């Protein structure tokens, strides 16, 4: 048993089997029906007026528009309007298509989602007039961040040479476009090592990785004779809204260090103007679904100016609930409405011309005292692979041993913001689900952490700080 838990090579076949039998997220309705397009990309008709708001949405693991994730619900709120100032892209999560169990287990199909989103962005976004919103959940949130890093490396390209003729359809153009985007993404992901000591030799060490990505992708662009439409510095994301970012690409590891993220992608904050990140307090799979936080010093490594002022634009808030509760992927759950309403409120009026991308005053149903789903108990097969491991907020707040103003590791914040609904929940005597079924103690499970005896008591004591508690504060709107 310990070998299975520690060694990813032993675990992979079992992970795939269990994903097929139970679903990786727990309690989420899955669809493995093969799609004509491997990524099941959906887009609204191109907007015919300018300026407009371009909205990119990347859903969570195994989820599509038949699911009830917050990304899916936001998609419906946005697209069920008769508006011509919105241009919307949506893609289902990895594993929701023909990649099936392998996609669920390893993230297969991830790059196709990023490539398709980038293609849509290049086709529809005008950096001089438009607003740009980016949303994602779970591995879709990490895909959204990888997309932002891709844009920060490549800029915005003119892909019109691959457009279909008005009088017909040429499959060769579709293949050429796909092959070009694939070559571009490969260069971004695997830039040749010799660039470090040639083109990027005179750059500061921290900027050599991003320099290599830019040099490698520029070579591909020039080889294909694809013109640059906008420099990377001219493309910024006005809103980046994320629900509980996790990576889980390739073989799962047994490390819950939020700084140990796949280095093949540029995970950065440089081209984001406002970041909203809803994080789960109660997930029980910290080593597998380690939260990839937006308050890490490493996120400024690729920035021309790595100053800590970047984190002034980040609202990272912790919510009660497991991964799927916060992301809204339980059909009978109402906890997801809490984080979605928070996202709606914080993005109000941020579209073009000061309009919201959804109907003004929109709210969804929420119930902050609804039950928390215990993903480990719901998917008992995973107990063979992953022992119960709760998220360690104290560890996530730790600084590097050599922490200094220019440090690029560890936490960039001194405390975590807890949503008021989580405090109300801990102070309640019991929690009642929407159908009035009473649950023992109501918090299944209680929020616990390796860093404290009982994180629930720490939250319950807020705004005071109890003994042996990490620095926490109640989130308040600006």
Place of tokens 């952490």: 449
Q: Provide the domain limits for residue 94.
A: 50-158+227-354
470: nearest Cα among 310, 283, 307, 281:
281
pLDDT given at position 386: 55
Element (H, E) at 211: helix 208-224
Give me the sign of the Cα torsion angle 343, 121, 132, 246. positive
pLDDT given at position 101: 54
User: Rounded distance, CA 238 to CA 132, Å?
Assistant: 5
In this prediction, the residues of the chain whose per-residue pLDDT falls under 50 are: 1-6, 8-12, 14-40, 47, 103, 433-453
Identify the CATH number of the domain in which residue 138 sits: 3.40.50.1820
pLDDT digits (tens, 9 = 90+) for 194-239: 999 999 999 999 999 999 999 999 999 999 999 999 999 999 999 9
268: nearest Cα among 304, 243, 241:
304
Cβ atoms of 62 and 30 within 8 Å: the answer is yes
The pair of structure tokens assigned to 404 is 């200094």
Element (H, E) at 119: helix 110-124
Cβ atoms of 211 and 203 within 8 Å: the answer is yes
User: Rounded distance, CA 100 to CA 108, Å?
Assistant: 9
- The answer to the question of residue 363 being in a domain is no
- The answer to the question of residue 298 being in a domain is yes
Q: How many CA atoms lie within 13 A of 189 on its CB side?
A: 13
- The answer to the question of residue 74 being in a domain is yes
Q: Is the peptide bond between 445 and the residue preceding it cis, with omega within 30 degrees of 0? A: yes
Crossing angle of helices 171-189/208-224, nearest 10°?
160
Overall number of domains in the chain: 1
SS3 state at 217: helix
Place of tokens 């950065």: 268
pLDDT given at position 98: 59
Percent of the chain whose pLDDT exceeds 70: 75
- The answer to the question of residue 3 being in a domain is no
pLDDT given at position 216: 98
Instruction: Give the CA angle between residues 59, 64, 67 to the nearest 5°.
Output: 105
Cβ atoms of 180 and 226 within 8 Å: the answer is yes
User: Rounded distance, CA 281 to CA 448, Å?
Assistant: 9
User: Rounded distance, CA 24 to CA 16, Å?
Assistant: 9
SS3 state at 322: coil
- The answer to the question of residue 27 being in a domain is no
Residue 242 buriedness (CB in 10 A; 0-12 / 13-18 / 19+) = buried
Q: Kindly write down the DSSP assignment for every residue of 150-172, as one continuous string.
A: HHHHH-EE--GGGPPPTTS--HH
pLDDT given at position 16: 45
- The answer to the question of residue 205 being in a domain is no
- The answer to the question of residue 23 being in a domain is no
């Amino acid at each position: 048993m310990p070998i299975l838990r520690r060694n990813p090579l032993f675990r992979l076949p079992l992970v795939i089997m269990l994903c097929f039998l139970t679903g990786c997220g727990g309690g989420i309705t899955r669809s493995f029906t093969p799609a004509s397009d491997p990524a099941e990309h959906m887009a609204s008709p191109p907007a015919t007026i300018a300026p407009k708001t371009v909205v990119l949405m990347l859903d969570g693991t195994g989820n599509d528009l038949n699911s009830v994730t917050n990304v899916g619900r936001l998609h419906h709120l946005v697209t069920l309007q008769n508006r011509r100032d919105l241009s919307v892209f949506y893609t289902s999560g990895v594993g929701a298509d023909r990649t099936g169990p392998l996609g669920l287990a390893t993230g297969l199909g991830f790059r196709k989602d990023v490539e398709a989103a980038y293609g849509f962005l290049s086709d529809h976004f005008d950096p001089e007039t438009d607003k740009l919103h980016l949303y994602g959940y779970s591995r879709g949130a990490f895909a959204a961040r990888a997309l932002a890093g891709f844009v920060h490396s490549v800029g915005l390209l003119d892909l019109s040479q691959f457009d279909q003729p008005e009088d017909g359809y040429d499959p060769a153009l579709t293949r050429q476009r796909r092959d070009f985007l694939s070559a571009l993404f490969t260069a971004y992901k695997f830039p040749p090592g010799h660039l470090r000591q040639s083109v990027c030799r005179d750059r500061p060490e921290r900027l050599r990785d991003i320099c290599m990505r830019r040099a490698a992708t520029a070579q591909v662009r020039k080889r294909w004779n694809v013109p640059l439409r906008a420099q990377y510095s001219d493309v910024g994301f006005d809103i980046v809204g994320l629900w509980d970012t996790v990576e889980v690409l390739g073989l799962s590891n047994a490390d819950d260090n939020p700084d140990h993220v796949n280095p093949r992608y540029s995970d950065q904050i440089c081209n984001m103007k406002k970041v909203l990140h809803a994080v789960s307090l109660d997930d029980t799979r910290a080593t597998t679904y380690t939260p990839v936080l937006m308050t890490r010093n490493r996120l400024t490594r690729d920035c021309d100016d790595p100053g800590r002022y970047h984190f002034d634009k980040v609202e990272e808030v912790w919510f009660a609930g497991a991964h799927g509760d916060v992301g809204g992927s339980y059909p009978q759950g109402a906890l997801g409405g809490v984080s979605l309403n928070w996202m709606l409120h914080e993005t109000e009026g941020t579209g073009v011309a000061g309009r919201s991308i959804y109907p003004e005053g929109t709210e969804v149903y929420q119930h902050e005292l609804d039950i928390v789903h215990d993903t480990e108990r719901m998917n008992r097969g995973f107990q063979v692979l992953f022992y119960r491991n709760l998220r360690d907020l104290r560890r996530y707040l730790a600084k590097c041993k050599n922490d200094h103003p220019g440090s690029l590791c560890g936490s960039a914040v001194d405390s975590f913001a807890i949503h008021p609904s989580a405090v109300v929940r801990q102070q309640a005597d019991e929690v009642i689900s929407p159908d009035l079924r009473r649950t023992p103690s109501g918090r299944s499970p209680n929020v616990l952490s390796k860093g404290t005896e009982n994180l629930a008591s720490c939250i319950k004591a807020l705004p005071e700080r109890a003994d042996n508690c990490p620095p926490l504060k109640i989130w308040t709107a600006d």
